[in-house]
């Protein structure tokens, strides 16, 4: 049996040593890298802590048991606690009882881990008061597989107090508005009661004015009727005048009927009538008085279209204007009654003119005011009634001065008062 050569195993031992040395070197390199990584991680964590502690926002980190594992300096500043207080405790211990359920509902660890949410709640201050904090929170998983929540927030106490103050102010304003509304409603009820009494008084006054208007409207034909009757009595040979008397009597009846109808129903009895016919009716009412006063009555009508109007009321209005002209000429003069078509073609202008003293310029703005009069025994209703009749026909009445003095009254009536 041959002896073993000790040099035969040398190459294998050298390889194992080299491999061992290589492994040791790798371990040393990895240890150095690990130490470097730990150093870098510590430095990173330190920089994060420095940034977090100097941040203006509140930063809180919680573990999966809702325990606060990190609070930055701002948390302690805002809530007034000493450094380290609350570390490891659950967050719900600081939350107002009314906000706890709603707040913890967001911290459902079974929810989507990538979820982000906002929350706002009251947190207890070290002095026992409550501060409103608003947070934005989210979940993340650490390198070791731990699930954490990081919440970044700010103190919104001043904003919430301002909002609460605003709500209180709004509530107070609403109460004041409600009280004011009730006061106004009561005032309105009282006003309606006063208005009711005023309407009753106004109706009484309107009844008096209506009685005056009826009296004024029948005055012209009644005067003419009396004159005709007196002449027939003084001269039996003028019995033919009785026909004119009959016409005037019918005219008085029409005026009364139409005035009462207008008062009761507020409607016009519209018919188609020529301006010449209207002026003829006015002349019939006034010619006897004009003769007695020595007033020359001139009536003319150009080519005019017929108008749609309440004949009785328009004649009463024109007759009232003509009577005013006669009143202005007690010692005689000339009274002109005329009608013409305006260029536009849809309006007829009636003109009543006298050569009396005229109306002073300073009084003209008032002549259509009810009860204003310059006559010793006037009612002040004539021109207001005329204006009401003309306006009821969608027309216009105005005053002017004649070339040689006197007064000119213009009445513009549309051919159809649509």
pLDDT at res. 137: 83
pLDDT one-digit tens code per residue, 163-176: 888 899 888 888 88
Residue recorded with tokens 């003209």 = 364
In this prediction, residue 101 has a pLDDT band, given cuts at 50, 70 and 90, of confident
The pLDDT value recorded for residue 250 is 64
Q: Is the pLDDT of residue 414 over 80?
A: yes
Alpha helices in 54-156 (DSSP H): 73-79, 97-106
Beta bridge partners of 138: 116, 150
Residue 207 has pLDDT above 60, yes or no: no
Instruction: Please give the pLDDT value at position 109.
Output: 46
Give residue 295's pLDDT: 93
Categorize the per-residue pLDDT at 201 as very low, low, confident or very high, splitting at 50, 70 and 90.
very low
At 389 the pLDDT is 83
Q: Give 281-310 pLDDT, tens digit per residue.
A: 999 888 888 999 999 999 998 889 999 998
Higher-scoring residue by pLDDT: 212, 31? 31
> DSSP code of 70?
E
Chain mean pLDDT for the chain: 77
Structural domains of the chain in order of their starting residue, each with its CATH number: 55-155 (3.30.450.20), 265-414 (3.30.565.10)
What is d(CA 96, CA 125) in angstroms, rounded to the nearest whole number? 11
Q: Which residue has the higher pLDDT, 50 or 365?
A: 365
Alpha carbon of 252 to those of 209, 257, 262, 280: distances in Å?
19, 9, 15, 16
Q: Is residue 330 within 8 Å of residue 288, measured between CB atoms?
A: no
Q: In this model, does residue 278 exceed pLDDT 90?
A: yes
For residue 166, what are its two tokens?
């605003």
Task: Please say whether the dihedral angle defined by the alpha carbons of residues 70, 73, 77 and 82, taken in this order, is positive or negative.
Answer: positive
C-alpha distances in angstroms, 144 versus 69, 140, 141?
A: 16, 11, 8
Is 78 in contact with 131 (CB distance < 8 Å)?
yes
| pLDDT of 335 | 93
pLDDT-derived band at 233 (thresholds 50, 70, 90) equals low
Summarised one tens digit per residue, pLDDT across range 255-269 is: 666 555 555 545 678
Pairing status of strand 407-414 against strand 396-401: antiparallel
Look at residue 259 in the predicted model and tell me its pLDDT: 59
Distance of alpha carbon 258 from alpha carbon 404, whole angstroms = 37
For the cut 90, the answer to whether the pLDDT of residue 275 exceeds it is yes
> What pLDDT is attached to residue 208?
45
Counting Cβ atoms within 10 Å, is residue 125 exposed (0-12), middle (13-18) or buried (19+)? middle
Q: How many Å apart are CA 285 and CA 318, to the nearest integer?
A: 11
What confidence tier does 334 reach under pLDDT thresholds 50, 70, 90?
Answer: very high
Q: Is 210 a residue whose pLDDT tops 80?
A: no
Model confidence over 311-326: pLDDT tens digits? 888 998 899 899 888 9
Name the least confident of 138-147, 274-283, 369-378: 369-378
In angstroms, what CA-CA distances link 284 with 217, 294, 312? 15, 16, 13
């Amino acid at each position: 049996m041959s002896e073993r050569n000790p040099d035969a195993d040398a190459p294998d031992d050298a390889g194992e040593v080299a491999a061992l040395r290589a492994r040791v070197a790798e371990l040393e390199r990895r240890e150095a890298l690990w130490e470097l990584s730990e150093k870098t991680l510590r430095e990173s964590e330190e920089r994060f802590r420095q940034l977090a502690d100097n941040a203006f926002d509140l930063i809180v980190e919680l573990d999966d048991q809702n325990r606060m594992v990190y609070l930055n300096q701002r948390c302690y500043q805002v809530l007034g606690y000493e450094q380290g207080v609350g570390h490891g405790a659950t967050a719900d211990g600081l939350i107002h009882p009314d906000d706890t359920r709603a707040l913890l509902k967001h911290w459902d660890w079974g929810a989507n881990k990538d979820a982000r949410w906002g929350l706002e709640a009251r947190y207890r201050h070290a002095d026992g008061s409550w501060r409103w904090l608003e947070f934005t929170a989210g979940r993340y998983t650490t390198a070791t597989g731990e699930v954490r929540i990081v919440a970044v927030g700010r103190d919104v106490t001043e904003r919430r107090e301002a909002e609460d103050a605003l709500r209180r102010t709004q509530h107070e304003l609403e109460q004041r508005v409600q009280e004011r509304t009730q006061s106004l409603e009561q005032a309105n009820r009282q006003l309606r009661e006063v208005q009711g009494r005023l309407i009753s008084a106004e109706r009484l006054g309107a009844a008096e004015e209506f009685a005056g208007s009826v009296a004024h409207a029948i005055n012209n034909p009644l005067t003419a009727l009396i004159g005709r009757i007196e002449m027939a009595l003084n001269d039996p040979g003028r019995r033919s005048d009785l026909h004119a008397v009959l016409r005037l009597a019918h005219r008085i009846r029409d005026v009364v009927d139409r005035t009462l109808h207008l008062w009761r129903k507020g409607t016009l009895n519209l018919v188609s009538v020529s301006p010449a016919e209207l002026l003829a009716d006015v002349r019939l009412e006034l010619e006897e008085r004009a003769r007695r006063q020595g007033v020359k009555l001139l009536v003319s009508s150009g080519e005019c279209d017929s108008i749609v109007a309440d004949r009785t009321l328009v004649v009463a209005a024109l007759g009232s204007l003509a009577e005013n002209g006669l009143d202005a000429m007690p010692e005689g003069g000339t009274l002109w009654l005329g009608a013409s078509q305006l260029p536009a073609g849809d309006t007829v202008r009636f003109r009543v003119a006298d050569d009396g003293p005229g109306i002073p310029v300073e009084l003209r703005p008032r002549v259509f005011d009810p009860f204003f009069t310059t006559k010793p025994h006037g009612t002040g209703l004539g021109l207001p009634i005329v204006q009401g009749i003309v306006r009821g026909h969608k027309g216009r009445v105005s005053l002017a001065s004649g070339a040689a003095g006197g007064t000119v009254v213009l009445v513009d009536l549309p051919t159809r008062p649509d």
